[in-house]
Amino acid sequence: MLFLYVVFGAWLVACAINQFKWKFWTKVQAFDLFGLLPCWTFFAPNPGTSDLRIVYRDILDNGVRSSWAEMVTLPSDNSFYRAIWNPEKFDSKAAFDLAQLLGTDAMAAKEHPRAALISMSYIQLLDPIMKCPRGEEAVARQFALVSTRGHVPPRETVVIMLSQAHRFDCA
């Protein structure tokens, strides 16, 4: 019984040490052929410090571009009821996941920026963006993925991807 305490105690200590990136420990990790020393990142070594936003603008029939508006993915009603029943959360999560995937696709296709325009994430994200409310004079819509940092304006913004204009009569 004492043997098991020693073995599991040593394993516990080794698991705790394995959470850190210490130089001397890489030699021990080389002997971990069966992956018995996990590396947990519950609190992420590199936490997210920015928000991903989907913004769009309309192009009017006279060629004027409207100001950017953020795509609303969550309803403004934050009642207690939403904690129990919230089917709209699925749509919001899907849009956010598609935007993240498209951002990754756009970053990967830096040398060929138009390649992201035919990705599945671009095409799937375009549909809800084109369904956002529009004015009567709008003939096309353009969207962008923007990364923002900070909680109060003016926020630090970085444009991750800018789409081409898409006509409403083709949607």
Residue 61 and residue 30 in one domain: no
Domain count, the chain: 2
Amino acid sitting at position 114 = R
Round to whole Å and give the CA distance between 4 and 154: 59
Residue 112 and residue 161 in one domain: yes
Residue 107 and residue 144 in one domain: yes
Contacts 24+ apart (CB under 8 A), 37-43: none
Residue 71 and residue 41 in one domain: no
Residue 102 and residue 164 in one domain: yes
How many of the other CB atoms lie within 10 Å of CB of 7? 10
What interhelical angle do 88-108 and 120-130 show, nearest 10? 130
Residue 24 and residue 76 in one domain: no
> H/E/C letters for each residue in 71-109?
CCCCCCCCCCHHHHCCCHHHHHHHHHHHHHHHHHHHHHC
pLDDT in tens, the chain (171 residues): 899 999 999 999 988 888 887 888 888 888 888 888 888 766 666 666 778 889 999 999 998 999 999 987 766 666 777 777 777 777 777 888 888 888 888 777 777 767 777 888 888 889 889 999 998 899 999 999 888 887 777 888 888 888 999 999 865
Closest CA to 54 of 130, 117, 151: 130
How many of the other CB atoms lie within 10 Å of CB of 48? 7
Residue 33 and residue 56 in one domain: no
Residue 76 and residue 101 in one domain: yes
Q: Which domain holds residue 118?
A: 51-170
CA–centroid distance for 2 within its chain: 49
Residue 72 and residue 140 in one domain: yes
Round to whole Å and give the CA distance between 163 and 151: 26
Residue 102 and residue 158 in one domain: yes
Residue 42 and residue 82 in one domain: no
Residue 93 and residue 164 in one domain: yes
Round to whole Å and give the CA distance between 38 and 41: 10
